Amino acid sequence: MDTVVILASGLSIILVAILWVQKKFDYWRKLGIPYEEPHFFYGNLKGVGQYDHDGLLTQKFYKKHKGKGPVVGVYFFLKPVAILLDINIIKDILIKDFPIFHDRGIFYNERDDPLSAHLVNLSGDKWKELRNKFSPTFSSGKMKMMFSTMLEVAVKLEKKIDQVCRSGKELDIKMLMALFTVDVIGSCAFGLKTNSLEDENNEFFHIGVSVFDKPRHGTRVMFVLHVFREYARKLRIKLFRDEVTKFYSSIVRRTIDYRLANNEERNDFMQLLIELHTKKGKDNLPFNDIVAQAFVFHIAGFETSSATLQFCFYELASNPDIQDKLRHHINEVLEKHDGKLTYEAVMDMKYLDQVINETLRKYPPFGLLFRETSQDYKIPGTDCILHKGTSLYIPIYAIHHDPEFYPNPSKFNPDNFSEEAVKNRHSFAFIPFGAGPRTCIGARFGATQVKIGVITALRRFKYTLSPRTKQPIKLLTKFFIAQPEGGIWLNITPIN
């Protein structure tokens, strides 16, 4: 009799659980919003972290449901998520209605994992205050001041390429550009001569790379943490490995102590952080906040820029006519500026802008933008209301590969960013780093170092694809930032 009772109780619990899950999966249908039929428990996350990059997953939903309504409802595990399909609604959410969508709804754990509480993840008033304090660091005036420092690193980059060229070996373009961007950020942000291009074994480089190559959690777990943020915080889950936190805390502490002891001031990001840290009263920035912001500047700055550079050189090697045209354009502009690589000369290279923008279109560093409603939101032109706390995903990768905006989107075509093409296209059809008040604060810095990287690597060298490069390119699934499976390998020859 007891066995029967136990079995009946167990079956009842299972039945209740099934009915509860089914009720959760009825959310979008009740709202009258088109939705993707979910699988039991994990919803529509099948493939993420296994065989689909997050940008490709949302592209499937975008292509299937575009035209059926302004959004399509999906489920990431049991949590309803709205994927935006209408580019005008996207513009409203990022610009006009930004006060309702100022937060990303990303997991971070400030108490146990201070590195996670950085500007990209933060929400509410703290994000707004820090954003206002840091914005002056990334002005065009500051870029000009940092330009000479970037050029010093570029000299080492050219020397490194020349060494590989003389050796006759294949070039691992990802590794090369990661070394370059780490050194640029080490100098411009921390005031450190990291010398990664001369010594690949330095700790600054390897710890930074390990954040992405050896993440604490895989892509699917990251989605779980975002979905169940409050539970994850109560369980005191961390995003980053302890050795990463220890390293960045140590290097920031040493830098601050050295500068204060020697009354040393520099025109870099660290100087701004130190000034905020030493202020009295409410404007004082605690040490953990200093570390978090220095960390994200380093990590986001070098990884997104090095990824853009490697994809750019993949396409230049695959399209020799574009490579030759760009090289000719660079040399032509430099002649107008007396052969000197100045900030003004770089800003004058319009075709270089087109090539880099086309790279960012085809390979946006992030496949998605995250937003969360802070109050109920009526979707313009409809009767549908997104309830407070609803997560919204803006499918950057899908928009950038939409033939409505880019004919033959799989083709690398810098003419997509000619003056006329840009003028005739919706302004929000190209948003590699977001838009509105929460657009990437370091986009100008990243663009400048990418341009210097392309100019330096292209002026004296020609590139072709090595057979070692896998074709066609497949994006790795374990990264949120786009990375090619197997890397990109190039052959180099000098140009006399």
Please state, as a whole number, how many other Cβ atoms lie within 10 Å of the Cβ of residue 456: 22
Query: Quick one: tokens of 493?
Result: 């020859």
DSSP 40-74: TTTBT-TTBTTTB-HHHHHHHHHHHHTTS-SEEEE
Q: Which residues of 258-274 are buried (b: 16+ CB within 10 A; e: fewer)?
A: ebeeeeeebebbbbbbb
Strands 71-76 and 79-84: antiparallel
Please state, as a whole number, how many other Cβ atoms lie within 10 Å of the Cβ of residue 339: 9
Torsion angle of C-alpha atoms 10, 16, 22, 27, degrees rounded to 10: -150
| Angstrom distances, CA of residue 116 to CA of 102, 189, 203, 477 | 18, 19, 21, 22
440 annotated as ligand-binding: yes
φ/ψ of 479, rounded to 5, equals -110, 140
Q: Cα(362)–Cα(100) distance, rounded to whole angstroms? A: 30
DSSP 87-101: HHHHHIIIIITGGGS
Q: Cα(252)–Cα(335) distance, rounded to whole angstroms? A: 42
Residue 433 sits at the vertex; the CA angle it makes with 432 and 437, to the nearest 5 degrees, is 140
Q: Cα(406)–Cα(95) distance, rounded to whole angstroms? A: 23
Which residue, among 91, 80, 94, has the nearest Cα to 31 in the 3D structure?
80
| Angstrom distances, CA of residue 109 to CA of 100, 123, 236, 248, 446 | 23, 12, 7, 17, 27
Q: Cα(237)–Cα(241) distance, rounded to whole angstroms? A: 11
Q: Which residues of 45-83 are buried (b: 16+ CB within 10 A; e: fewer)?
A: beebbeebbbbbbbbebbeebbeebbbbbbbbbbbbbbb
Residue 74 pairs with which residues in a beta bridge? 81
Which residue, among 490, 451, 197, has the nearest Cα to 317 in the 3D structure?
490
| Angstrom distances, CA of residue 334 to CA of 39, 215, 337, 345, 453 | 57, 42, 5, 6, 15
Binding residues: 440
Binding residues for heme: 440
